[in-house]
Amino acid sequence: MSKDNQVLEEFTSKEYEHGWTIDLESDSAPKGLNEDIIRFISAKKSEPEWLLEWRLKAYRHWTTMKEPKWPNVHYPEINFQDIIYYSAPKQKVVPKSLDEVDPELIATFKKLGISLTEQKRLTGIAVDAVIDSVSVATTFKEKLGELGIIFCSFSEAVREHPELVKKYLGSVVPPNDNYYAALNSAVFTDGSFCYIPKGVKCPMELSTYFRINAANTGQFERTLIVAEEASYVSYLEGCTAPMRDENQLHAAVVELYAMKSAEIKYSTVQNWYPGDKNGKGGIYNFVTKRGICAGDHSKISWTQVETGSSITWKYPSCILKGDYSSGEFYSVAVTNNYQQADTGTKMIHIGKHTRSRIVSKGISAGKSQNSYRGQVHILKRAENARNFSQCDSLLMGDQCGAHTFPYIDVENKSAHVEHEATTSKIGEDQIFYCQQRGIDEEAAVALIVNGYAKEVLKQLPMEFAVEAQKLLALTLEGSVG
Amino acid sequence: MSVTTEKKNFTQELIASFDLSKFKQDSEQRKKALAAFQSLGLPEGKSEEYKFTPITKLLAKQFKAEELYTSPTPAVSDVSALIPKAFQENCVVFVNGVYNPALSQLAAGSKVVIKPFQEAMATHASVISEKLNEIKDNNDPFALLNAAMWQDGLFIHVPKNTSGEKPLFIYHLHDANASKVTSHTRLMVVVEQSAEFSIVERTDSLGKNTIFNTINEEILVDENASFSYCKIQNDSGDLIHVSNTTVHQKKSSRADTYTFSLDGKLIRNNLNIIIDGEGCESHFYGLYLTDGDTLVDNHTVVDHKQPNSFSNELYKGLMDGKSKGVFNGKIFVRPHAQKTNAFQSNRNILLSDDATINTKPQLEIWADDVKCSHGCTTGQLDDEALFYLQSRGIPKATAKAMLLYAFAGEVLEAIKDENLKQYIDSIVSERLHKSF
């Protein structure tokens, strides 16, 4: 076996690190989905009447919809009645500060490497942690509060800031947008809410950790970020789940709303359990993420490192409505074993002089299938719009597949749209060149993969880049120090 | 009545109005195709393959169901003025989809068999059935429609080691002066081992009534053979055209295809290239210059099934007026087709505020040791280049035509046959100068 095959072999046989479970006593709804379950969830969370109505409307619409079949992924039909839609770690009272949080929970996060208290001291990132369906802790709230920034769990936002939630909820991803968005709108249990007031630059990275812990549950969280005029926020999201033989569903919705001259940077390191070597178990990650650049000169930037999930179905998109607004999408998607990913972005250019940039890097190994699916749509009134897209695929091994489905629709003659895609494996000449310079084969593979993904990784905030590199180092395992 | 039921009914009516008993030959094949068409139906608005091409809507608007497979054949006495001199010695003429022996003239002493399809089914039955088995079924609804309803066609057989033959010019003329016209034509080309052959095909129309025309082309290029195929679509009339071309390439063969679409109401070209042997080379080029409310839709597929082959695709488009361009290019590289090199490029220029382009280059790769890439751009003419020419005293209109001609030039340059190059060059230049 040649050395780079060994590297591949090691990567392919590498076990999932976050596969443990912790016995957290949880409070769950019965399996299945109907209007009563939705009422149950809503009552559990002491929600106002309008939100219950909103959920029910979404649910009724969902029942009329069909599961989308167009993605390039294959999986057995999901039985939506076999899922627990609400599961919360049991807590006697709502914790006021971190000291009151269940020590088991704290231990959970320690294991994840995001000790909430340590995080607070050392890195200065505000974290909102969501286990199963409920947000369990949010750090740094008071400090952010001084600047007028609201960063809290979604349920809290519904209680404390109903006017904001009511105004923006569903404004970017309407409840009837697609099958999974409708499902999420009906049953979403928690998530994060973030509001940056006018002119405020958020001084620290905001971050959410999602964790599915209980068995048979689905996780349906919702994130809503509103950035007022001339504000700035950088937001991080990370996710893990235990190893279980059955597939679990994760259907989240993320909405970003950027006003005039505001900037939102949203980074994800997605590491849901991808299933075992034989493709058993793993998370179905069916997520709707969309941001709107509502005001002129606003900017939304998505960065994602996708390494987990047995199936990923996710298209973080930008609606570029304001003139001179810009959207960015940087993605590294790694699939291995029997993982399937169908991911990409949509850039909808509505405003004049709007710009967008797409850089997508796919790496497929094992028997996995990795697809890029994206759309660049220049509408008629979008004068002088500009887009550049690049989507590259790297194949490792001869049993995986890489696919590209870019849609480019231009209705304005002044648009400049460029798209390029390549598919290749690591070139023998590239390895030879490195070897010739005294770099051994393993290190050469590591170097090349690293360089290949660098354009995206460098977009991540420093704190996250470390984690992402660690994750990606799975690929490079055994070859770097 | 809802839109969907209307469309369904249109498919139903179409099938109901079709009388299989009229066709004595090939009835089993027709039945099979009709059944497949029935289950598929005409493409609806949401159909992925016809997403931007509302052909069913247009057909339902223009035609009654029973008009879609039959029409009278008028007498046309002379077409010599319409056929370029260089190709007059070896040409076949179809009028409203029916082979016209009086207007056709075949080169004397040629080894190549060129026969109306009906006739060839009797004389070359074994070759046809053997080769048809090798060619993959086409599941496009219009390919199936054609397979069920074709009226006439051509069978071309190029025997082993044939070379130096004159190119064959196939001229499809539709005379829609008197009434609407529908025609379904079928073409089969077998280029045997180490043979060389080339075909130039042109569609043309007279009159202003609507024409609906489908052409199915099944082309088999055997080992070491070389084949070149050029399509010129420049119908001034109200033409709705769907062509389905399948090129099946065997070991070490070479195929070059060129598609020039200049005019018509709605043109849809499905070009499928199947690389079923090692060491193949395939080049396909396209140029679409649209204006008015023309819609040109090119769907190309190159399917690399065997290792060590090369494919290169270049499609360029200039859209003016309210015209629409649609491009979809698929590259498949199957699991063991290692060492494949596949390249694709699609470039577009929008010339007016109302022109649009929808393009979707698509790569699907299941083999790792390959080099595949696609690139796609959309833009407008470079203002600086235009200014440069104007500053040298060249009038704006001429300068513009020069730049556009240069843009199209990359495709024209790829044509190897000098006569053909000149012929197409004259059509393209005339067209570009007419526009500005």
Best of B368, B372, B384, B404 to substitute, by most chain A Cβ atoms within 10 angstroms, is B368
For A190-332, where are the alpha helices, taking DSSP H only?
none
CA A105 vs. chain centroid, Å, equals: 23
What is the greatest pairwise CA distance in chain B? 69
DSSP A262-274: -EEEEEEEE----
Per-residue confidence band for A348, with pLDDT thresholds at 50, 70 and 90: very high
Give the nearest partner residue to B353 out of A398, A401, A413, using CB atoms: A413
Per-residue confidence band for A119, with pLDDT thresholds at 50, 70 and 90: very low
Best of B47, B364, B404 to substitute, by most chain A Cβ atoms within 10 angstroms, is B364
Give the gap in angstroms from C-alpha B174 to the nearest C-alpha of chain A.
33
pLDDT at A298 over 60: yes
Per-residue confidence band for A475, with pLDDT thresholds at 50, 70 and 90: very low
pLDDT at A379 over 90: yes
Q: In the prediction, which pLDDT does B435 show?
A: 63
Q: Do B355 and A418 touch (CB under 8 A)?
A: no
Higher pLDDT, A249 or A212: A249
List C-alpha distances in Å: B256 to B130, B231, B345. 24, 11, 16
User: Each residue of A38-59: pLDDT tens digit?
Assistant: 888 888 788 888 888 888 988 8
Mean pLDDT for B233-250 is 91
The chain A residue lying nearest B318, using CA atoms, is: A413
DSSP A29-50: PPBS-SHHHHHHHHHHTT--HH
Instruction: State the Cα torsion A181-A186-A191-A197 to the nearest 10°.
Output: 80
Lowest mean pLDDT among A123-132, A457-466, B336-345: A123-132
pLDDT at A102 over 70: no
Give the nearest partner residue to B379 out of A400, A411, A416, using CB atoms: A416
Residue type, B364: E
Q: Do A398 and B373 touch (CB under 8 A)?
A: no
Give the nearest partner residue to B378 out of A399, A410, A425, using CB atoms: A410
Give the nearest partner residue to A393 out of B356, B360, B365, using CB atoms: B365
Per-residue confidence band for A395, with pLDDT thresholds at 50, 70 and 90: confident
Q: In the prediction, which pLDDT does A187 show?
A: 85
Q: Which residues of B touch A404 (CB under 8 A)?
A: 361-364, 374
Output the six-digit token pair for B146. 């054609």
User: Nearest 5 degrees, angle CA A29-CA A34-CA A38?
Assistant: 60
- Continuous segment of H or E residues that includes residue B252: none
Mean pLDDT for B9-33 is 77
Higher pLDDT, A449 or B373: B373
Which residue reads 């066609």 in tokens?
A: B153
Q: Do A423 and B370 touch (CB under 8 A)?
A: yes
Q: In the prediction, which pLDDT does A9 show?
A: 53
Q: In the prediction, which pLDDT does A115 show?
A: 47
Whole-angstrom Cα distance, residue B172 to residue B82?
A: 11
CA A427 vs. chain centroid, Å, equals: 31
Q: In the prediction, which pLDDT does A99 show?
A: 52
Three-state secondary structure along B277-288?
CCCCEEEEEEEE
Which of these, A43, A58, A75, A50, lies nearest to A339 by C-alpha position?
Answer: A75
Q: In the prediction, which pLDDT does A477 show?
A: 47
User: Each residue of B392-421: pLDDT tens digit?
Assistant: 999 998 898 889 999 999 999 999 999 999
Per-residue confidence band for A124, with pLDDT thresholds at 50, 70 and 90: very low
Whole-angstrom Cα distance, residue B298 to residue B245?
A: 11
Which residue reads 């309407």 in tokens?
A: A174
Q: In the prediction, which pLDDT does A112 show?
A: 53
Q: Which residues of A touch B46 (CB under 8 A)?
A: none
pLDDT at B390 over 80: yes
Q: Which residues of B touch A396 (CB under 8 A)?
A: 368
- Pair type for strands A416-424 and B371-379: antiparallel
**Chain A residues near any Cβ of chain B (below 8 Å):** 70, 380, 393, 395-425
Per-residue confidence band for B329, with pLDDT thresholds at 50, 70 and 90: very high
pLDDT at B106 over 70: yes
Q: In the prediction, which pLDDT does B252 show?
A: 95
Q: In the prediction, which pLDDT does A103 show?
A: 60
Q: Do A425 and B368 touch (CB under 8 A)?
A: yes
Identify the three-state secondary structure at position A347: strand
Lowest mean pLDDT among A84-88, B79-83, B163-167, B290-294: A84-88
Kindly report the average pLDDT of chain A as a whole number. Answer: 79
Q: In the prediction, which pLDDT does B1 show?
A: 39
Q: Which residues of A touch B377 (CB under 8 A)?
A: 416-419
pLDDT at A466 over 90: no
pLDDT at B75 over 80: no
Give the gap in angstroms from C-alpha B302 to the nearest C-alpha of chain A.
14
Residue type, B207: G
Q: Do B367 and A408 touch (CB under 8 A)?
A: no
pLDDT at A332 over 50: yes
Mean pLDDT for B307-332 is 94
Give the gap in angstroms from C-alpha B313 to the nearest C-alpha of chain A.
14
pLDDT at A287 over 70: yes
The chain B residue lying nearest A405, using CA atoms, is: B362
Per-residue confidence band for B132, with pLDDT thresholds at 50, 70 and 90: confident
Residue type, B218: E
Whole-angstrom Cα distance, residue B215 to residue B201?
A: 11
Per-residue confidence band for A118, with pLDDT thresholds at 50, 70 and 90: very low
Q: Do B360 and A70 touch (CB under 8 A)?
A: no
CB A322 within 8 A of CB A293: yes
pLDDT at A177 over 50: yes
Q: Do A415 and B378 touch (CB under 8 A)?
A: yes
CB B148 within 8 A of CB B221: no
pLDDT at B192 over 90: yes
Helix axes A441-457, A428-436, angle to 10 degrees: 110
Higher pLDDT, A13 or A178: A178
Q: Which residues of A touch B372 (CB under 8 A)?
A: 422-424
β strands within A52-169, DSSP E: 87-89, 126-131, 134-138, 150-153
pLDDT at A211 over 60: yes
Give the nearest partner residue to B380 out of A393, A396, A413, using CB atoms: A413
For chain B, the 3-state helix, strand and coil shares in percent, each to the nearest 5, are: 30, 40, 35
What lies within 8 Å, CB to CB, of B258 at 6+ separation is B228, B229, B230, B231, B284, B285, B286, B411, B414, B415, B424
Give the gap in angstroms from C-alpha A310 to the nearest C-alpha of chain B.
19
Pick from A36-40, A359-363, B281-285, B336-340 the range whose average pLDDT is largest.
B281-285
Q: Do A423 and B369 touch (CB under 8 A)?
A: no
Q: Do A395 and B368 touch (CB under 8 A)?
A: yes
pLDDT at A127 over 90: no
How many CB atoms sit inside 10 A of residue B53's CB? 23
The chain A residue lying nearest B379, using CA atoms, is: A416
Mean pLDDT for B110-138 is 85
Which residue reads 């799975």 in tokens?
A: A474
Q: Do B370 and A403 touch (CB under 8 A)?
A: no
User: Nearest 5 degrees, angle CA B234-CA B238-CA B243?
Assistant: 60
Taking phi over 0 as left and psi of -120 to 50 as alpha, with beta for the rest, A430 belongs to alpha
Kindly report the average pLDDT of chain B as a whole number. Answer: 88
Cβ density class B395-429: b for 16+ within 10 Å, e for less: eeeebbbbbbbebbeebbebbebeebeebbeebbe
The dihedral sign for the CA sequence A88, A93, A94, A97: negative
What lies within 8 Å, CB to CB, of B43 at 6+ separation is B49, B50, B53, B55, B56, B141
CB A426 within 8 A of CB A417: no
